[in-house]
Amino acid sequence: MMQESKIIVENSGALNVPDCPVIPFIEGDGIGPDIWAATVRVLDASIEQAYTGTKKISWLEVFAGEKGFEKSGSWLPDETLNKIREHVAAIKGPLTTPVGKGFRSLNVTIRQKLDLYACVRPIRYIEGVPSPMKHPEKINMVVFRENTEDVYAGIEWAKGTREAERLIAFLESEMKIAISQDSGIGIKPISETASKRLVASAIRHAIDHGLGSVTLMHKGNIMKFTEGAFKEWGYETAEELFGDQTVTEAALWVKYDGVCPEGKVVIKDRIADMMFQQVLLRPEEYQVIATPNLNGDYISDALAAQAGGLGLAPGANIGDRCAVFEATHGTAPKYAGQDKVNPGSLILSGAMMLDFIGWQKAAEKIRKAVQKTICDRVVTYDLARQLEGARKVKCSEFATALIERL
């Protein structure tokens, strides 16, 4: 029996990962139990095969969402957040956001409480997946979405509340700005600190993975002091922290005749609306996208659709002290308990988690097996309806087919 123990974050920020780390998981609501059951089998099998029994994850269930409420009367118990903090890496299925006034999204709350400031979503085309693009194979990007502020910070007041009225009165009397009395008000904070740490993690990722460019996606032509500032702080970060390893797009033409010197990352920026055209028309020109919260939400779903849909799009929320890996789709309640949906998104998020803890060999096995299973046209209902000659399988059967191809 292997001795289970905790992952430790060293002072340098590096992870010290034992052979049998304890990793908390949240099963999730709706389709969560189905996709988690499939995922855990694939993760365990890939680790077993990659390391022939010398490494293993000791899974620790923690509760949130409906199961959290049933067990403790809380949708997001403090104990769950503490366990994730304590064990550094965790994985979760989708969670229902309880409907009703006063409830914030549990997912947004988890990201904010644990300061998981970078939402990282790699979007890479998997051969064989039906896509609306003519050349989906050109899509190979990683979106770094700022996760803690922007209009997602939840600072807003409904029309007619005392707070909204006070704010409207303040803006009118102190700032001479007229706002219609029947307005709801939301605040968009974008700070230098949060922007710089997000862009730094995106550039670090590009350097570590030999990727050619980081694009700052923003709407700074209109929102100058929030999105425009994000762009400026992004360029400053590149110069201050990675001056030797980066070159701006402008300098590329002035100094290097448009040809990037070997080993450098090009830093460029694009206005958000134009970026949606760019990723459709010239996806091969973009490798890493760093962007504020709302833009990041939109662009990562759009890219996932271009590459074949949310059913296969993985995601991670990463901070300096811990990380939570999760499927990018929701709880799809109409399919709950039917053993029907595609577990690919959570499985590939699990592979990202294995990368994160340094178990790349197992992660790579999973990615190759997903590719092979789909190329063999063994797919769940969502892909079967678009793939001619497909063998439609259940969620659990897809996991079995994948394990056979590890």
Residues at the interface with ligand NAP (CB under 6 A): 31, 35, 94-97, 107, 310-311, 326, 329-332, 341-342, 345, 382
Helix H or strand E encompassing 110: helix 106-113
Q: How far is the CB of 394 from ligand NAP (least distance, A)?
A: 12
Nearer to ligand NAP, 94 or 234 (CB): 94
The angle subtended at Cα 81 by Cα 203 and Cα 326, nearest 5°, is: 50
Number of residues in the chain: 406
Q: Which residue is nearest to ligand NAP (CB)?
A: 330
Rounded to whole angstroms, the Cα distance separating 188 from 13 reads 30
Q: Which two tokens stand for residue 215?
A: 């694009």
34 within 8 A of 337, measured Cβ to Cβ: yes
Rounded to whole angstroms, the Cα distance separating 348 from 382 reads 17
Nearer to ligand NAP, 107 or 293 (CB): 107
Nearer to ligand NAP, 214 or 318 (CB): 318
Nearer to ligand NAP, 96 or 373 (CB): 96
105 within 8 A of 338, measured Cβ to Cβ: no
Q: Which two tokens stand for residue 116?
A: 């998981």
SS3 186: strand
Q: How far is the CB of 227 from ligand NAP (least distance, A)?
A: 24
Q: How far is the CB of 261 from ligand NAP (least distance, A)?
A: 40
Rounded to whole angstroms, the Cα distance separating 338 from 31 reads 8
Nearer to ligand NAP, 164 or 310 (CB): 310
Q: How far is the CB of 66 from ligand NAP (least distance, A)?
A: 10
Residue positions annotated with a catalytic role: 152, 219, 273, 297
State how far the alpha carbon of 365 is from the alpha carbons of 20, 45, 54, 223, 361, in Å.
Answer: 19, 10, 16, 44, 6
Q: How far is the CB of 105 from ligand NAP (least distance, A)?
A: 6
Closest among 108, 90, 98 to 73, alpha carbons compared: 98
Query: What is the greatest pairwise CA distance in the chain?
Result: 71
